[in-house]
Chain A
Amino acid sequence: MSNRDPREGSAWARICRAVGLAGLALFIVAAFTPLPSLVERWLAIPARLEPADALVVLAAGLNNDGVLSNNSLRRALRGIALYNKGLAPLLVLSGAPAQTGGRPEAQVRADLAGELGVPPAAVVLLGTARTTREEAVEVGKLLKPRGIQRILLVTDGDHMARALPLFERAGFEVLPAPVFDTVYDAAGPEDRLSTSRSMLMELGARLYYRAAGYL
């Protein structure tokens, strides 16, 4: 005769209860405590804004209507602002067309750069790469023949830890220029959940890049 409490149920029920409890605990921590912002701050790579040979602005995608996504716009504006500060003579804008077709993200960003005073001769477009690894390889092919060695890399803070070693592996001296100089505290549960989600996605991408031998 079994001594097990019948309320405990089957193995499946026990697994589900354990997973459910862990999931709810994770949800409460992610939504209602400052932990996501603390982890984001801890993982952040600080900006090193020094003169370089080129600014490289990584892609972040277009919306389906062909407009820059929020992340893409933020990265582009950061790159344009650093160019206008005179930190590099060349602005490399990355971004392939949306999966639904249309103009490449890089071209849309170049139009924005032109409107904000960046001369067309200073802009280099990279409109084919669709992953961070492809961007590092393609930027290497594009800039190495020009003798460019030192680049300012513009991307989001959580993406920097994966992008930076890829560009170093492509042979560049990389100066990180994250979109924001400081990590801001998330405002409210939804914002915290969004931060947690971004970090988990980036963690998954890093694990995949490590498993594939890219990092």
Chain B
Amino acid sequence: MQELFILGVVVLTSAAAGVFAVRGLAWSVGALAAAVRATLEFVGAGLVFFVLNLVVGVATILILRTLGGGPVSVYVVNDVALLALSLLQGLAFQCWRQAARATGGTLR
């Protein structure tokens, strides 16, 4: 029930935003596909950074343990802040990439 309510609210506000964008701002419906692709790229870049952060974090802790740097729990990386920061990293990286493209930078 709770999940249906949450999904319902999100669908409702998305539909309202869609109507406003098409009728009020005259955005083309065709551009929505590009927006979905860009959103997936932002999320994907964030998740790539998340995996990278996890690997670097766990490896650092294991190295510290091996070097006798005291008892450090691997569970310190189990923090939702790491996911949030990773998504921000991904967002910033993708924005930088787009800015570089706009200014004629090399893209790979």
Which chain A residues in 1-41 approach chain B with CB under 8 Å? 7, 9-13, 15-21, 23-24, 31-32
- Judge whether A189 and B3 touch: CB under 8 Å: yes
- Judge whether A189 and B2 touch: CB under 8 Å: yes
A7-B37, A24-B43 known; A19+B48 contact, CB < 8 A: yes
Which chain A residues in 54-106 approach chain B with CB under 8 Å? 61, 96, 99
Besides A19-B48, A130-B73, 6 more A-B contacts (Cβ < 8 Å) are: A15-B44, A20-B40, A20-B44, A99-B71, A130-B71, A189-B6
What's the Cα separation between A16 and B3 when bound, in Å? 27
Which chain B residues in 27-84 approach chain A with CB under 8 Å? 34, 37, 39-45, 47-48, 71-75, 78
B interface majority secondary structure: helix
Q: Which residues of A contact B (CB under 8 A)?
A: 7, 9-13, 15-21, 23-24, 31-32, 61, 96, 99, 130, 187-189, 197, 201, 205, 208
What's the Cα separation between A61 and B44 when bound, in Å? 33
- Judge whether A18 and B44 touch: CB under 8 Å: yes
Task: Tell me if B108 counts as interface (CB < 8 A to partner A).
Answer: yes
Q: Which residues of B contact A (CB under 8 A)?
A: 2-3, 6-7, 34, 37, 39-45, 47-48, 71-75, 78, 94, 97, 107-108
- Judge whether B71 and A96 touch: CB under 8 Å: yes
Contact of A197 among B3, B73, B78 (CB under 8 A): B78
